[in-house]
Chains A and B, each alone.
Chain A
Amino acid sequence: MGVRIIKNECAEGEDKMNFWEKITGSDMRKELKTFDSRVKKLPAAYQAAWENIIANLWPHADFTGRNLIPILDGVLGLLEESASDGQRVQEVLNDDIKGFCSALAGEEGAKSFRDKWREQLNNNISKILGKAGK
């Protein structure tokens, strides 16, 4: 439910959010700060994994990175649950953080910069080909 709740909050928040908050991203900074305090409560190995996850998810961010907030919230929830179960982080993510992140970004429909460029390129080429065909 966590992901959905956050999404709703974002949607509601967006109505109330003023232009200034949006442009400076101060609303996001608040979220990221809450994440930080949650991360600090995790075991060290989990904290390292979190850093790694952020690094691997970042290329999937949109212009502001706002699309990553609900994804990160969900992942943090997973880490918190697993840590309190006493699992080792390697057991949870199988040392394949890169694969985990790309699967996650794919499920959430977050495209990477490269996907967007590829799409743009494909569109351009098909436009050109379309014109040439006429």
Chain B
Amino acid sequence: MLKGVLEGCVLEIISHEEIYGYEITRRLKALGFSDVVEGTVYTILVRLEKNELVNIEKKPSDAGPPRKCYTLNAAGREELRRFWEKWEFVSSKMNALKEKTK
């Protein structure tokens, strides 16, 4: 379950601005997903790339190799919309269940 949620988080983060992998990981950690590592984010980014939901541009950096910068394309935005729809559904049902069993 967390895998799907993380993918939604990554899509949401990319949707705001052009961003690279390490920065995405840092944002997730700041959100409280403290055990998320860059390797995890990388596997998600590979999946997004394979499903053609993101555009990637290689940008030179001050030090070290060029970085892959990610932006969301139209298909990615559609996927993000669907994610929030599913999330709404699941969270409303979970809350309803919690209320009932109280």
Interface assignment of B32: CB less than 8 Å from any CB of chain A:
no
**What separation, in Å, do the CA atoms of A7 and B68 have in the docked complex?**
16
Do residues B50 and A108 form an inter-chain contact, with CB atoms below 8 A? yes
**What separation, in Å, do the CA atoms of A82 and B22 have in the docked complex?**
7
Q: In the assembled complex, how far is the CB of residue A46 from the closest CB belonging to chain B, in whole angstroms?
A: 12
Question: Contacting A107 at CB < 8 Å: which of B21, B35, B47?
Answer: B47
Question: Contacting A94 at CB < 8 Å: which of B22, B35, B46, B58?
Answer: B35
**What separation, in Å, do the CA atoms of A75 and B38 have in the docked complex?**
11
Interface size on A, residues (CB 8 A): 26
Do residues B22 and A3 form an inter-chain contact, with CB atoms below 8 A? no
Knowing A81-B65, A82-B22 are in contact, say whether A2-B46 is a contact too (CB < 8 A). no
Number of residue pairs A-B, CB distance < 8 angstroms = 66
Main secondary structure of the interface of A (DSSP, over half): helix
Residues of A within 8 A of B20 (CB): 81
Knowing A80-B64, A81-B21, A94-B37 are in contact, say whether A4-B49 is a contact too (CB < 8 A). yes
Interface residues of B in 44-61 (CB under 8 A from A): 46-47, 49-50, 56-58, 61
Do residues B65 and A84 form an inter-chain contact, with CB atoms below 8 A? yes
Interface assignment of A103: CB less than 8 Å from any CB of chain B:
yes
Knowing A3-B46, A74-B46, A81-B21 are in contact, say whether A92-B37 is a contact too (CB < 8 A). yes
Do residues A3 and B65 form an inter-chain contact, with CB atoms below 8 A? no
Of the candidates B43, B47, B58, B63, the one having the most CB atoms from chain A within 10 angstroms of its own CB is B43
Interface 0/1 of A103-132, CB less than 8 Å to B: 110011100000000000000000000000
Residues of A within 8 A of B57 (CB): 1
Interface 0/1 of B73-91, CB less than 8 Å to A: 0000000000000000000
Knowing A91-B38, A94-B35 are in contact, say whether A107-B67 is a contact too (CB < 8 A). no
15 A-B contacts, Cβ less than 8 Å apart?
A1-B56, A2-B58, A2-B68, A4-B56, A75-B42, A77-B65, A78-B21, A78-B39, A81-B20, A81-B65, A82-B22, A83-B64, A91-B37, A93-B39, A100-B40
